[in-house]
Structure 1
Amino acid sequence: MHKSDLHHYLRAARESLVWKLDGLSEYDIRRPLTPTGTNLLGLVKHLASVELGYFGDCFGRPHGESLPWFEDGAEVNADMWATPDESREQIVSLYRRAWAHADATIEELPLDAPGHVAWWPAERNPTSLHRVLVHMLAETQRHAGHADIVRELIDGAVGRHQSDDLPSDDQSWWHDYRERLERAARQAG
């Protein structure tokens, strides 16, 4: 029960993140929209990479994927953006393969299965599938939140999925709402 609940929410967060790419140009999925360079395709690339590490390497379950951005001598943050020769299709396909590998690990191992996260501090690196699953759920949701904001900045699309239950889909309603919040902020400040 607990494992299936966690797995369900992880799957939903993954789907939400990939949905954020729908209907956007190559430029829009790659362009950095924050001072630290946050971009949609980079978030997908990053999460594909870390899922393979956490649900593969940490449990002795080799994934067989080539991740040159994690090799010795790779550029710092190379997993957070896509080079011009890395296509949307390649990165999304990598993410979906990471899902399949992670899902197999989650389904086959019990929550108390021991793992080892070499990049965590020594006092925390003996771990369990439960802890890794919670960690990846939190990380995926965090980055899905980043994607929400980045996508809204690009074209105004919001929510976890296209049919999300938001207060309104009327742009004038949102404009008035934002203006009211701006007035409240100025009054309080």
Structure 2
Amino acid sequence: MRIESINPATEELLASFDEINSQELDRRVTHASEAFRSWRKVPISDRARCMNRMSEYLLAHKEKLARIATVEMGKPIRQSLAEVEKCALGCRFYAENGERFLASTPIETGSAQSYVEFDPVGIVLAIMPWNFPFWQVFRFAAPALVAGNVALLKHAPNVPQSAIAIEHAFREVGFPEHVFQTLLVGVPAVERII
């Protein structure tokens, strides 16, 4: 199956991508599992630094990223710019507050010592809609990655360039390989991923 990026205003085909096959999909899920084993051990302060770099990257590249959203899903450029800026703010928020949010919380239970612990859970699969192609992704990815999880993105089929741009951003700012991956697949592949 081909995944196509089509400008909704002009109906022009912008780009076309092959869906990844089941073997490649299995490899990527395996890589995510391996990445989780090491990423979960990275100190929260280091994960937060990565997310701060993402915030800076988004602001530095907001015009380019906003253009992708505008031509790929039809959002006015002012709204696309605001969306990318909002993503940068979200990344900064979780970078600055992640350590506090994830700190162990003592609770009274009658035992000698009791507390609530927030441990990473593993791979987070995000199946995203098209209407906020950047914000929908960063609102899950920023807290999930700061918390020590890894992410697989199955974005809406009409915004593959946005999905690819997001994965590229995570690599550019220094997140370890396979901590965030875009999966160019159709809906039928979701069951296999799960």
Question: Which TM-score applies when normalising by structure 2?
Answer: 0.30
Normalized per residue, the structure richer in strand is: 2
Normalized per residue, the structure richer in helix is: 1
Point out the structure with max Rg over C-alpha.
1
Question: Which TM-score applies when normalising by structure 1?
Answer: 0.30
